[in-house]
């Protein structure tokens, strides 16, 4: 049987193929496509019982109907988030859907810190200057993070890894979550209201999933609470931040730095080469004009260790489907198996 994977990155493909070859040998072949799954590309999945997808693939009701009509019975999301999948429609169509509920939290936490340090210490501006042999320090002054306050929004595995690094810097820790994490409490974290966290933190880092309750969690009132010289980092989901409100805040000359690895309208942009095209997303283009904003293309998870874990879990989800099992990662189903 041939399994088709969408949105496969060039660095990801050899790791994904090697993992599938080890697990399935000649039983199942893997077809890797760089194109993303949407209504236009869904017919390419015809005849494939199992489809692998990612966060920037579109699996709304229409796409799912096309997949089901073409013979697809199982969708394996190669990511933790699944807000791009209409689970209600999947259930109605009898599709099995599974995700990767866990992979290296250090990959994302370490990258979030890379963003924080890059904007605080003006690393990108400094690198551009030195490439042109401009070695001035004007405009590059950073500040110590030791002794300052880190606000961790979401203290699951990734948020806890981020907090441990902050603790290593000697920072005071504030947390916001539905439940207190004993591991974070052991680091000296104090859990506070969302409003108190935004008001007191010198650095706010987001580590919660995107749900109805967290959509635009960082809105105009939240941004108004933040210190004028605070840092804001988002390595989770773009929809957590109200981009228009963030732009208004930046235009007002507030916030020391913003590091974004995600963007709420990133589908159709991130993971693609748009360098020869006109950027029609005016909000993203405007974000790029601020010299205290650093935008990267959803790469926080992208380490060898994390990709290998994602591949291994995806294989386990596919094996569960073939065996008719409901695993810990199953979101919908299973309903039918070959």
Question: Is the predicted pLDDT of residue 333 greater than 90, yes or no?
Answer: no
Question: Is the predicted pLDDT of residue 302 greater than 80, yes or no?
Answer: yes
The predicted model scores a pTM of 0.91
Q: Kindly report, residue by residue over 73-120, the tens digit of the pLDDT.
A: 999 999 998 989 999 999 999 999 999 998 999 999 999 999 999 999
**Residues annotated catalytic, as ranges:** 237, 266
The per-residue pLDDT for 326 is 87
Question: Is the predicted pLDDT of residue 336 greater than 60, yes or no?
Answer: no
Average pLDDT over residues 283-290: 96
* Residue 25 or 294, more confident: 294
Work out the mean pLDDT of the chain and round it to a whole number: 95
Average pLDDT over residues 209-225: 96
The per-residue pLDDT for 335 is 59
Q: Which H or E run includes 176?
A: strand 172-176
Question: Could you give all domains of the chain from N- to C-terminal order, each with its CATH number?
Answer: 2-103+303-332 (3.40.50.720), 105-295 (3.40.50.720)
The per-residue pLDDT for 338 is 39
187 C-beta neighbours (distance < 10 Å), count:
18
Average pLDDT over residues 317-325: 92
Q: Kindly report, residue by residue over 152-197, the tens digit of the pLDDT.
A: 999 999 999 999 999 999 999 999 999 999 999 999 999 999 999 9
72 C-beta neighbours (distance < 10 Å), count:
22
Q: Kindly report, residue by residue over 38-61, the tens digit of the pLDDT.
A: 999 999 999 999 999 998 899 999
In three state form, how does the secondary structure of 38-62 look?
CCCCHHHHCCCCEEEECCCCCECHH
Q: Kindly report, residue by residue over 236-278, the tens digit of the pLDDT.
A: 999 999 999 999 999 999 999 999 999 999 988 999 899 999 9
Strand partners, 234: 206, 260
The per-residue pLDDT for 291 is 94
Average pLDDT over residues 212-230: 97
The per-residue pLDDT for 26 is 82
| Alpha carbon distance 238, 50 (integer Å) | 28
Question: What does 134-175 look like in DSSP terms, one character per residue?
Answer: ----TT------TTSEEEEE--SHHHHHHHHHHHHTT-EEEE
| Whole-number Cα distances in Å, 296 to 178, 275, 293, 301 | 29, 14, 10, 12
Q: What percent of the chain has a predicted confidence (pLDDT) above 70?
A: 99
Average pLDDT over residues 5-28: 93
Q: Which H or E run includes 124?
A: helix 123-131
CB-CB contact of 173 with 150 (8 Å): yes
319 C-beta neighbours (distance < 10 Å), count:
14
The per-residue pLDDT for 294 is 98
């Amino acid at each position: 049987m041939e399994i088709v994977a969408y949105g496969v990155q060039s660095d990801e493909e050899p790791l994904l193929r090697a993992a599938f070859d080890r697990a399935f040998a000649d039983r199942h072949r893997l077809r890797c496509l760089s194109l993303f799954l949407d209504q236009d590309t869904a017919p390419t999945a015809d005849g494939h019982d199992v489809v692998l997808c990612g966060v920037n693939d579109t699996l709304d009701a229409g796409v799912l109907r096309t997949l089901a009509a073409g013979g697809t019975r199982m969708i394996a999301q190669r990511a933790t988030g699944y807000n791009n999948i209409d689970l209600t429609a999947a259930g109605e169509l009898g599709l099995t859907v599974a995700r990767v509920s866990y992979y290296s939290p250090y990959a994302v936490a370490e990258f979030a810190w890379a963003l924080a340090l890059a904007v605080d210490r003006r690393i990108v501006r400094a690198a551009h200057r030195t490439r042109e042999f401009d070695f001035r320090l004007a405009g590059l002054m950073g500040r110590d993070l030791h002794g300052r306050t880190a606000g961790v929004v979401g203290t699951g595995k990734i948020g806890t890894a981020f907090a441990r690094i902050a603790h290593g810097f000697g920072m005071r820790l504030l947390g916001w979550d539905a439940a207190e994490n004993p591991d974070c409490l052991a680091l000296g974290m104090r859990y506070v209201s969302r409003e108190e966290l935004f008001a007191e933190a010198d650095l706010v880092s987001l580590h919660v999933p995107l749900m109805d309750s967290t959509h635009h969690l960082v809105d105009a009132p939240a941004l108004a609470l933040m210190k004028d010289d605070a840092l804001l980092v988002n390595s989770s989901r773009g929809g957590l931040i109200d981009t228009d409100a963030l732009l208004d805040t930046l235009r007002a000359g507030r916030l020391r730095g913003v590091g974004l690895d995600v963007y709420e309208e990133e589908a159709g942009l991130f993971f693609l080469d748009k360098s020869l095209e006109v950027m029609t997303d005016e909000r993203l283009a405007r974000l790029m004009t601020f010299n205290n904003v650093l935008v990267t293309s959803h790469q926080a998870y992208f380490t060898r260790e994390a990709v290998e874990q994602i591949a291994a879990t995806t294989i386990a989800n596919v094996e569960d489907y073939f065996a008719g099992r409901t695993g810990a990662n199953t979101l919908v189903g299973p309903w039918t198996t070959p």
